[in-house]
Every structure is written in C-alpha cells, then in structure tokens.
Structure 1
Amino acid sequence: MMHANRLADLRQRLQQQGLDAFIIPHDDEHLGEYIPPYAERLDWISGFNGSAGAAVVLAEQAAIFVDGRYTVQVRHQCDPTLFAFHHLINEPYLDWLAERLEGGARVGFDPRLHSQKWYQDADARLADQGINLVPMSHNPIDRLWHDRPAPGHHPASLLSQEYSGQHSEAKRHRIAETLAAGNIDAQLLTQAEPINWLLNIRGRDIPCLPVVLSFALLHRDGRVQLFADPDKFTDLELQAHCGQDVTLAPMDALEQALTELGRQGARVQLDPSTANAWSALVLSRAGAELIYGDDPCMLLKACKNPVEVHGSRAAHLRDGAAVCRFLAWLDRRLAEPNPEQEDEGTLADRLAACRRQSPEFVEPSFSTISALGPNAAMCHYHHVNGVPRRLGQDAIYLVDSGGQYLDGTTDITRTVAVGRPDDDMRKLFTLVLRGHIDLAQARFPAGTGGLQLDALARMPLWQQGYNFDHGTGHGVGHFLSVHEGPQRISPKGSMVPLTTGMIVSNEPGYYREDAFGIRCENLVVVQPAATDGDIPVFELETLTFVPFDRRLIDPTWLEPKHIAWLDDYHRQVWEKVSPQLDGEELDWLKQATRPL
C-alpha cells in the first residue's frame, strides 16, 4: 500500500507539470557505483534496493528494469501489481517508453542523475518518435520524500604521503600540463573517487567507499576548486594538506562557478560518461565551450605507484590472516554440535569480526556475499534480502568479501566444503581453479588489454562445455573503490592496456541455478616481467594469500604445471601468513597448505 500511495502522489505531480512519464535511475549526482542513503530514490518509489536499475512511471503503468544479477531479488522486493519487470540490458527502458507513448509526449528526468552521454543518446532516441525529453529543475520525488535521510557529516581524513606515495600538487600539475597543452581552461571532475585520489583525501560519506562526496574544477594552472560540505574539513587544513592553490566551497556553489566559466567563454573538458547532464547544461547555457574527453585522473589513479603497491601487499597479508582465522573457525564449528545454528548472516558477521582485529581496518569494501548451496548460484546474492540459509544442508559455501584498510583495498572469494561435495562439484571447482591458475601464470606483451586475456580463465570450462556469465576481473582501487576502471578482464572487456601498477581481480566461476555456485578470486598487480626477449612483457603478481580448499580439488583435472603452481602458492601462503597466527589457527593453516 505504501508504494501504491507513493506512485499515486508522484503521478499527481507529473500531471501538474504536464509530464507523461518520469525516469528514476539508481544514481546520485556523482554517478558513481555506490550511492548514499539520501539518494535511494529508486528504493523509495519501488522497494528495490539493488545496486543497478531504473524505474519508469507513466500515468497508468510503471515498470522496473534490472540486470541479470537482480531478476530474482526484484520479484521479492517489488509489488507485481504496481510494476512490470524487465531486463535492463535486453529490454532497454527507452524502447519500452517509445512503444507506449505517442508523438508529442513529454518525458521528465532529473539531469543531475543521468550522464551527459545518456542525455544525448536518449534525447536522440526519443526524438525519433516525436517524444520530448524534459530536464527538470527539481526532482519530484525529493518533494514527496518527507522522511528522506540527511547527508552524512562524517569528517574527512587527509591521506598522508606515507600511504599515497605522491603529493596532491604533483598529481594536479601533471594533469594541468596536459590541459594547457590541449588549450583547455578547466577540467570538471564529478565522481568522488578521482577527486579524492587527486587531493589525497578520504571520507565516510558512502558505506564501503571511503570518499568525501564532492565536485571539483581543475584549472590549467593546477588550481583546484573543491565543492564539498565545508563542515567536513576547514579550508586551512585542506590547504595545508594539498597546497595553497586548493580552495573549498559548498556543493551548491558549483552552479555559480560553472556559470562564471561560461561567461568567460572558457573551454571546459568533461567526461560525458561520468559527468551529469545538469553540469553540461549549465556550462553550455552560460556560453562555455564543452570539450569531451576521458576523465584524466582515471588512468593515473589505476596505475598504482610503488608506495601504493607496497601498501596493498601489506593490506592483503593482514586480510589474508583474517580470512584464514575465519576459515579455521568455520572448520572447527562444523565439527562441533549444532552447526545448523549458524547461518549466512552469522558467518558474515564472524568474518567481519576477524577483519576488525586489525587496527588499520576501516570498513568492508562491499557487502559480503555469504552464500550457501543454491544461494551461491546468484553471483550478487545478499543474505539480508531473504531468509539466511543455515549450515548443515549444503555441500558448498561461497564467501566473497573484502576490506578497506588505510594502505589498500582487498577483495577475495573462497569456495569451501561445508558438507560432502560430489564428484561433479569437485570437477567443476577444479576446472574453475585451473582457469584461475592459467590466468595467474599469464605473461603478455605491452599493449595487451583485458579482453585478450579473458579466454585464459575460461578455457578449461569451455573445453568441458561450461562457462560463467560475468567478467573475469575488475580493477581495484587503493583505499578507494573495490571496482575501478578503466582496466578490466572480460569478454566484453576493455582494450585499455594492462600496465605496471594496475590491480585487477582474477575470479572465474561456475554457477548452477538452484544448486550451487563456485568462484575462486585473488587480486593481482601488473608488474614488468624479466625476460631475455626484445619486447617489454608483463606478468601478474598475486596479492591475495589464503589457501584454496583441497577438499574440493580433483587432481585428475589438473596438469603438472597447475599442481606445481598450487603447491608453490600454498608454500607462500604458509610463509607469509603463518607468522600472524598461532594455536589452532596455525595448525589449520599447516594442514590447508600442505602439498597436493
């Protein structure tokens, strides 16, 4: 009833404004992957709280669009009498709209919540049908959402060079030189991660993503205007940390700053895929010349400097010890009476407690995927969206988790036996692990993109008639987002070359609906490889050190080179992690890392 009333109120507002439809994406003004509670407009109108999706509301009907990760979840959370369910990729909502509206119809959207590229493409798509796309000055949901959460006021933290490895001034002037060379007056930065990287600041504005939400203008002389909540730090401490040419202003001062640039006829660069349409509209209406280009921070941020790589290594060793403590406890718990008292939620809580033992730990890097049996077949399952499954009825448990540490970000998946896995499960686990090892051993020439490496992790599965429907690897930040670009390893992946300092995941898997799921994930960092050849070659240095479950391995599906890699990996796990453990945990690690 609650969502029916909200839909009715929204439709009344749309009618008053002469609109025939309204689009509600799962985004905030910064268009990042994660959004704060006050931006959960899609959840407010529909009840769906997944990380990706959109709703479209018309006078007589409404629909919600989600990708393959959320087709089950959306049916649990949304009322089918209020919303039709559609696939976000296979059934684009602009096509759905165009089929239901007549020429002359007006479709409202909040330009702060859509990228400039989306606006250009959507405007052209709907104009073909004679439908008008109308940017709205105020989001109608915000005026209906009376108990809307307030933005957080967590203080910002200043990341020292001990962790960042490079002063903000050096980063800013390096990028400013490229702006000046291109005769560009200013670069608009709209996503939180590149801004926080550029200024060596961090925050707690979004769970699992340690950033200060902000906008910034980087000028061709290296000056930066930062637009953020001034209560989170003082102008004085920001300048002491970043330099005198960094100034602080409230977020709502951005419009005036963009307008002033426009009045000067400035050439302003923005990334149309990440900058919202509102900022582009303000600039262009004021007279600025818009220059479209990739966010210049992204590639530099992705290539970790030696200090960041060193910190990431240290963070992963601490994290590896925490995961080993958890897995050792899990095996002990399975051998005790009444293990069925534990469920996916209590298991996730126990793992979180193990991580919190480290003083450098800040928070999880994402919501833990703690999945037993058939729940593990859903790649992005989360136990809070249903009734957590209990131990004692399944053979396999999959846990995908990570931590934000002051010196690095971690992400690891382990699939472990919690019952009696059958031969088919062991075969499939071994094929997944074999693909993981094949990718881990890869050496490749400079200029190679993740798209070219993806097949290495899939080949063992392909040869037996299996596959998995997600990317093999995503970029990972340094005490920033657990998902970052531009690098990734995927069949639809990036041709951005993998190069020194890039951190990526190596996570092939296999999922059998309503039965079980398997994933083997480590993080790796790209490093130059020593060869006797005449071209530069790279290799992948493993950062994650936690045993793979030997109980799930069927050696008949491995070649000697795979067994050699696995034995060497487990030797390193023992050498690197054992000094942090003692007692029963140390005994567990010794057994878990013995040669195959």
Structure 2
Amino acid sequence: MNNFETIETRVAQVRAELAMQELDAFIIPHDDEHLGEYIPAYAERLDWVTGFNGSAGLAILLADRAALFVDGRYTVQARMQAPASLFEFLHLIEQPHVQWLAEQLPAGARVGFDPRLHSLTWYRTAQAVLADHGIELVRVTENPIDLHWHDRPAAGKAPVILYSEALAGQSSEAKRELLASDLRKRGLDAVLLTQAEPINWLLNVRGRDIERLPVVLGFAVLYANSTMDFFVDTDKLDCFAFNQHVGQDVSVYPIDKLGDVLQRIGEDQQKVLADPNTANAWTQLIMEDAGAMLVAGLDPTMLPKACKNDIELSGIRAAHLRDGVAMTRFLAWLDRLIASGEFEGVDEGTLAEQVEAFRREQAHYVEPSFDTISALGPNAAMCHYRHTNGTPRLFGQDSLYLVDSGGQYLDGTTDITRTVKVGDVRDEHKAMFTRVLQGHIALDQVRFPHGTAGIQLDVLARLPLWQAGYNYDHGTGHGVGHFLSVHEGPQRIAPKGSMVALQPGMVLSNEPGYYREDGFGIRCENLVVVTELEPVGELPMLGFERLTYVPFDTRLIDRSLLSPAEFRWINEYHAEVYRRLSPLLEGEDLSWLEQATSLI
C-alpha cells in the first residue's frame, strides 16, 4: 500500500468514528496538549491523517469532504504530501478555517474538537462563530485519531536534567517566590502553567522529550504561597534528587492526576491566572466548570525568563564563541571544497551534516536548536526550506548558498545565518546582499530609549531594501531562550505583533533578508542582547551587544553602495571576529579566518 492509499484508509477510519459519535466534522490542528511551537512524534496527528508534516497547518474532515489549511511556506509541500483526491488545499491565514467550516455545514450540525489541542481563546471564538450558524461545537473525550493510530510512537522516557544554579543563575525557589509574590499582590490564588519552556525555566530543569527543544513536558500550578504542583511522567524523575534540587514545596504528580487537581481547585473556588491564548481549553474549562474564577492574563514567567541574568548571559556568550569556531571551520571547509573541485555527490544534506559535525566537536553541545536550513540557489528563496522534504539539491550549480543553523549547548542556544558565494555571482547578487547587510548594520547600531518595542525598530533593517524598491516577508528578529527554545517571546522585532518593550537581558536575532522566487535567497543573521548604554544627552538609552562572531562573505559586497560608516562597521566587526576566534583555530582554518576578516 502506497502512502496515499494509507492516508485514504486512515481518513475512512476517522470518518467511521465520527459517524458513530454523530459528528458531522472534526478539526485536527498541528498541536499537542501544551500548544507550543514544537511537538513530539506521538502528537503528529495532522501528519498521520493527511501525510503533511510541516510545522503549521490544520485539517478538517467532513463526512464527504476534507480540507487542509497551510500558510504560504507550505503550499507546495502540502500538495506533494497530501492526496489531492481527498483534500482541498486552503490558506491558513487568508481563509479562516472556522468561518469556512460554518459555511459548509447546515444548521443543527455537530463539529467535534479535542479540547486538549486548542486554546481557550480559540474555543470561545469558534463556539460563537459556529453558534451564529446554528452549529454545535462538541468536546470529544477521546480523540478519534488516537483510537486508530495503532503504531503511534511512545512518549520519550529520557530522564529529567537537573539544571544547576551555576548555569541558571538563580534558584528555583527564588523564581517561584518572585512569581508568587506577584500573585499575592494581585489577589490571585494560583497560576496555571501549561507550556514546557516556562515550567522548565521555573523549576531549573531540562529534558529530551522533543527534538531541538531541550525540555521535559509537563503541567504545573504555582500557588500564591510559593508551593507548586508539577504534573509529569514520574518515571523520568529521581524524586529524592529532584526534591533536593527544587526544594520541598514542590509536589510531583503523574500526568493523569492533572484533571483531579484542577477539579479540586475549581471546587475550592480559587481565582486562577491563566493565559487563554497559550493554555489549552481542557485545563481551564475543568476549573471553570467546577467553580473556579479564571483570570485571563499573560503567562507571568515570560518576561523574567526573557530577561537573562548575568550568569545566563555569561553562558550564552561562551556558547556563541564555541559556535563561532564551529561555523568558521565549516565556512573554511566549504571554500576548500570549492577550490578542490571534488564535490561530486555533495548536496544540501551533505552540507547540513558537515555543519552538525563541526558543532558536535564543541564542548557542552547537545543537539541542533532547529532543523538546519541548508539551501542552494533557488531553494534559498523559501525562507523555511527543509532539504529533507524532497531530493536535496546537488552542489556545484549555483552562485549562492544560504545556511541557517544553530546549536543547543548546556550554557546557551545559538542561531546564525550566513549567505556565501559558491559559484559565479552577478552584480545583482552583490547589490541585494549589500542592501541586506546594510539593514543588518543599521539595526545592530541603533540606540533607543527605554519603553521601545521591537515593532518600532523593524523599519531600520528594511530601509536599504525599501529605498531600492524591495522588501522581505518575515519578521526581522525573534527572541531566543537560554538552553531552551530558539524562538522565545514576548520580545520580537517585526512590522506587526508584540508591543512588549525591549528590556536589558533580552536576546534577539537580527536577520533581514531578500528572496527572489525560483532565483536565490539572502539572509544575514546574528544574535544580539539588549543592554544599557553609556548615558548621552537627557535620556538613558539601550542598544544591542553582539553575541555572534563569524565572518560575513565580503566577496558578496558591492562596495559602491557602502557609506564610510558601513565600511568602518564591517572592518571593526571582522577585526573583533579575528580577535576572538583566532586563538581557538589553527592551520588551514586559521589561515582562512585571516583572509576572511581582512580589511575591505
């Protein structure tokens, strides 16, 4: 049986289950119970029922129709992986799925959903839209996919990593008391925590439950008296060592006890803070139905987690130095490969594996921080390209190569993009690369007052492109965690989105780009940290300290476009790259670095 036949069988099985439950449709998101960006293999329900394995999407099964919603990144991939004989392909943003569903069904229809896989905000909104059309939104107690996914991967059993205060910079007790004191001031009894990164940060633990994201999955409730209930697979814990690590006021429960505890909280009529946008509907509805007062608000861990302390920043700087060594060795290796002319059989996958090989040689390296984007020529025009989704492009036929990669180190998380010359380049390549780099430089150098949000800085990175009539269709900067997610909020630099002010200790990416469909792609990315600047004038000012030190490819620069200040920035940056990395390199790699950082 080929893959499309397998999908057809699975769709039929789920439809039969829906008929038994008297449901006219079922909604299948790409989410697990924690509603985070990354999900474990056992939660890949969307992939199981459609064949589509992208990171964002949603499917709806009706009795005789089905639709797969994806965003612009995955239009081509979805049509390759999901059978068109079964699924209509719709745009996730431009064609809102709940409104689409309301237009397909008659009044009196019943739509099933798994409340563990949708936020409370989604539930309230979807319920209202469907009710306007006389359609009922029905919570299922058992996901119909789970009933038929007989070879479903088991959840991981890797032991919890007790993350030392020497790396975290602050004890779990101190973090819990900080949040609990805020609950007391606000007259709240507890806060519900459902996403992995906040819980891991709060307890000073990490795990290996999800590839690329070093967390242990679980749920937690923190109370105003600083006690905490932690719901986790207890097989992963040495309870004595865990209690010694976090203190005696953390009670550990198996995951299947979560509903009972939430029910009790509701019966006690407690006032519970919960983020309706990030916590699943099931957890909040249990408490609310039992009598709790839900108080909607942002997850209170997000801001203190984002503002790294001095110990965390020290580790992050050290991790970036080692990562700079790995990336520099890779770029030197790549140039030697080109010079040799012996690259038959080398493709995007080979290059990605070589990046990983150099990182594995570095101290404290654990795993990549995301799937490496290793893109040659036209493939680089797809911002989130993955060479594993098809046949990797062979090396040796393109002018440009874009590699966006990162590492999870015990003391920090890295993310870097370099665009490099791998063939004959045109003047257009150089002009566009230079404009992207100019935007990068402008953002790198900005000074801004306290209270400034990333949305106010985004234009700086785009201006050199705008002035020439170009743009790019993604944000300029995302937050980055500390041995946690490579995508962290609430900080962001983008034309729309977060209005949270940038604060000292926040780590962000600086990554403007340009993409020509079916042609080439360019991106220049370093990580930076928000820092206090020496006072000048009347206002205290903030700026960015660079964390990433790896050469940019000066062979791609059109010098006629640069200002004297931009010349100076490039030369000073490369001088600092050489100063930091040269003691850690030798032989051909050191010789390459000397050439790559020479004055322009």
> Fold conserved (TM > 0.5)?
yes
User: How far apart are residue 579 of structure 1 and its match?
Assistant: 1.1
User: How far apart are residue 314 of structure 1 and its match?
Assistant: 0.5
- Matched with 1:381 is 385
Question: Of the candidates 373, 395, 399, which is equivalent to residue 395 of structure 1?
Answer: 399
Give the AA of the match of 1:483.
H
User: How far apart are residue 367 of structure 1 and its match?
Assistant: 0.3
Structure 1 residues 99-110: aligned runs within 5 Å:
99-110=103-114
User: How far apart are residue 337 of structure 1 and its match?
Assistant: 3.2
Does residue 160 (structure 1) correspond to residue 164 (structure 2)? The answer is: yes
Structure 1 residues 399-548: aligned runs within 5 Å:
399-548=403-552
Give the AA of the match of 1:167.
S
Does residue 240 (structure 1) correspond to residue 251 (structure 2)? The answer is: no
The answer to whether the Cα contact below 8 Å between 2:276 and 2:297 also exists between their aligned partners in 1 is yes
Structure 1 residues 152-301: aligned runs within 5 Å:
152-301=156-305
Question: Of the candidates 56, 65, 69, which is equivalent to residue 69 of structure 2?
Answer: 65
The answer to whether the Cα contact below 8 Å between 1:505 and 1:522 also exists between their aligned partners in 2 is yes
User: How far apart are residue 278 of structure 1 and its match?
Assistant: 0.2
Does residue 38 (structure 1) correspond to residue 48 (structure 2)? The answer is: no
Give the AA of the match of 2:77.
Q
The answer to whether the Cα contact below 8 Å between 1:117 and 1:273 also exists between their aligned partners in 2 is yes
User: How far apart are residue 595 of structure 1 and its match?
Assistant: 1.1
Give the unaligned 5+ runs of structure 1.
Answer: none
Give the 4+ runs in structure 1 shifted more than 6 A: none
The answer to whether the Cα contact below 8 Å between 1:30 and 1:192 also exists between their aligned partners in 2 is yes
The answer to whether the Cα contact below 8 Å between 1:235 and 1:247 also exists between their aligned partners in 2 is no
Question: Of the candidates 137, 140, 144, which is equivalent to residue 136 of structure 1?
Answer: 140
Does residue 554 (structure 1) correspond to residue 542 (structure 2)? The answer is: no
- Paired with 2:525 and 2:244, the residues of 1 have a C-alpha distance of 40
The answer to whether the Cα contact below 8 Å between 1:238 and 1:246 also exists between their aligned partners in 2 is no
Give the unaligned 5+ runs of structure 2.
Answer: none
Q: Deviations over 1:291-330 (max 9, x none)?
A: 1111000011000011111111100000000000001000
Give the AA of the match of 2:367.
E
Residue 144 of structure 1 aligns to a residue in which SS? coil
TM-score (norm: length of structure 2): 0.99
- Matched with 1:355 is 359
User: How far apart are residue 338 of structure 1 and its match?
Assistant: 2.9
Q: Deviations over 1:131-167 (max 9, x none)?
A: 1111111100000100000000001111111110000
Give the AA of the match of 1:86.
L
Does residue 368 (structure 1) correspond to residue 372 (structure 2)? The answer is: yes
- Paired with 1:103 and 1:134, the residues of 2 have a C-alpha distance of 14
Residue 141 of structure 1 aligns to a residue in which SS? coil
The answer to whether the Cα contact below 8 Å between 1:378 and 1:517 also exists between their aligned partners in 2 is yes
Give the AA of the match of 1:54.
L
- Paired with 2:150 and 2:450, the residues of 1 have a C-alpha distance of 55
Does residue 145 (structure 1) correspond to residue 142 (structure 2)? The answer is: no
Tell me the percent identity.
61
- Matched with 2:568 is 564
User: How far apart are residue 238 of structure 1 and its match?
Assistant: 1.3
Moved more, 66-75 or 441-450: 66-75
Structure 1 residues 38-57: aligned runs within 5 Å:
38-57=42-61
TM-score (norm: length of structure 1): 0.99
- Paired with 2:523 and 2:294, the residues of 1 have a C-alpha distance of 44
Q: Deviations over 1:541-583 (max 9, x none)?
A: 0100000001111111111111111111000100011111100
- Matched with 1:3 is 7
- Matched with 2:332 is 328
Residue 339 of structure 1 aligns to a residue in which SS? coil
Moved more, 227-236 or 522-531: 227-236
- Matched with 1:580 is 584
Give the AA of the match of 1:152.
G
User: How far apart are residue 71 of structure 1 and its match?
Assistant: 1.1
Q: Deviations over 1:24-67 (max 9, x none)?
A: 00000000000000000000000111111100010111011111
Does residue 91 (structure 1) correspond to residue 109 (structure 2)? The answer is: no
Give the AA of the match of 2:122.
W
User: How far apart are residue 529 of structure 1 and its match?
Assistant: 0.7
Residue 76 of structure 1 aligns to a residue in which SS? helix
- Matched with 1:343 is 347
How many residues end up aligned between the 2 structures?
596
Does residue 309 (structure 1) correspond to residue 313 (structure 2)? The answer is: yes
Calculate the aligned-residue CA RMSD, in Å: 0.7
User: How far apart are residue 341 of structure 1 and its match?
Assistant: 2.1
Give the AA of the match of 1:358.
Q
User: How far apart are residue 99 of structure 1 and its match?
Assistant: 1.3
The answer to whether the Cα contact below 8 Å between 1:52 and 1:66 also exists between their aligned partners in 2 is yes
Residue 143 of structure 1 aligns to a residue in which SS? coil
- Paired with 2:164 and 2:13, the residues of 1 have a C-alpha distance of 49
Residue 146 of structure 2 aligns to a residue in which SS? helix
User: How far apart are residue 234 of structure 1 and its match?
Assistant: 2.2
Residue 198 of structure 1 aligns to a residue in which SS? helix
Q: Deviations over 1:207-256 (max 9, x none)?
A: 00000001000000111111001111122211100111012111111101
- Paired with 2:543 and 2:40, the residues of 1 have a C-alpha distance of 37
